[in-house]
Amino acid sequence: MTNIGFIGMGNMAQAIAGGFIKSGKVKGENIFAYAPNQEKLKTNATKIGFRAESSIEEMISKCDTVIVACKPYQIKDVLGEKGSKVRRALKGKALVSVAAGWVHSTFHEILGNDVRIQCIMPNTPALVGEGVMLFEKETSLTAEELTQLKELFSALGIVEELPTNLMGIGGAISGCGPAFMDLVMEAYADAAVKYGIQRPTAYRLVAQTMLGSAKLQQITGEHPGVLKDAVCSPNGTTIRGVDTLEKKGLRGACISSIDTIMDFKSGK
């Protein structure tokens, strides 16, 4: 994968391109991008270090790998009936999608066997190199391309592979999850402010506590319940807080939030 092109350059695409460049895995001169808003594209190109292109077909012609990073609802316009020139330009290329809800089979219906396809679902913490990159197991990339792609995306966080039927729940957890973590962060910061801590300090305390707790689990591999028990002294303050969270239904609320998302995705 020598030259990489982006169709669309929103926040996620900027995070990906910036991560590639910062990691040294891809030079800015080897990253190209097209977006309809040319003024904004050129501004981001200067800021991040990639090359802005005024034509989507010309951009694709310069690349061996193309990342579809436009909004999911825009893909049919880009690749469908109106996108015949784009489809012709993509022939023989590797196409990587980071669009939510799109999987290998949906792209294959449009592009057939002329394009090698890999669908990935990243999340917003990729902006700081702590994202989750979900790779759909079904792929038509070559083994070498897949290895290179996983190595590239590892610069943005952890890479996990899931079968197609689990990409939906995987995306609900890692894709929607940051909003839920942010909600918890804000709630505990509000509690800190309620008892006198300044808000900037409250956010730092809560954010670092969440980050440290997550890192502790990742590094030790301990069950979260074991780590929780280590903080809960008999007749102590923490166990009283845990008891309140249990009574208020924290676990059930967390699971129900995912149930709601999955029901929505299935049209229930």
Please check whether residues 65 and 125 belong to one and the same domain.
yes
CB hemisphere CA count around 168 (13 angstroms): 10
CATH number of the domain bearing residue 196: 1.10.3730.10
> CB-based burial of residue 35 (10 Å sphere; 0-12 exposed, 13-18 middle, 19+ buried)?
buried
Please check whether residues 184 and 257 belong to one and the same domain.
yes
Task: Centre a 10 Å sphere on the Cβ of residue 208 and count the other Cβ atoms it contains.
Answer: 10
Asked whether residue 90 is assigned to any structural domain, the reply reads yes
pLDDT for the residue 82: 65
- Which phi and psi angles does 63 have, rounded to 5°? -120, 150
pLDDT for the residue 266: 85
Number of separate domains in the chain: 2
pLDDT for the residue 265: 86
d(CA 156, CA 171): 16
Asked whether residue 44 is assigned to any structural domain, the reply reads yes
pLDDT for the residue 81: 64
Please check whether residues 21 and 130 belong to one and the same domain.
yes
Please check whether residues 152 and 197 belong to one and the same domain.
no
Q: Find where tokens 């699971």 sit.
A: 255
Please check whether residues 189 and 120 belong to one and the same domain.
no
- What domain range is 235 assigned to? 177-265
Asked whether residue 169 is assigned to any structural domain, the reply reads no
Asked whether residue 49 is assigned to any structural domain, the reply reads yes
Asked whether residue 171 is assigned to any structural domain, the reply reads no
d(CA 215, CA 66): 33
Please check whether residues 140 and 215 belong to one and the same domain.
no
pLDDT for the residue 89: 92
Which of these, 120, 88, 123, lies nearest to 104 by C-alpha position? 120
Please check whether residues 127 and 41 belong to one and the same domain.
yes
Residuewise pLDDT in 10s, the chain (268 residues): 789 999 999 988 998 999 899 888 899 999 999 999 999 999 999 999 999 999 999 999 999 999 999 988 888 888 876 678 888 999 999 999 999 889 999 999 999 998 999 999 999 898 888 999 999 999 999 999 999 999 999 999 999 999 999 999 999 999 999 999 999 999 999 999 999 999 999 999 999 999 999 999 999 999 999 999 999 999 999 999 999 999 999 999 999 999 999 999 888 7
- Provide the sign of the torsion angle of the four alpha carbons 149, 151, 155, 161, taken in this order: positive
CATH number of the domain bearing residue 84: 3.40.50.720
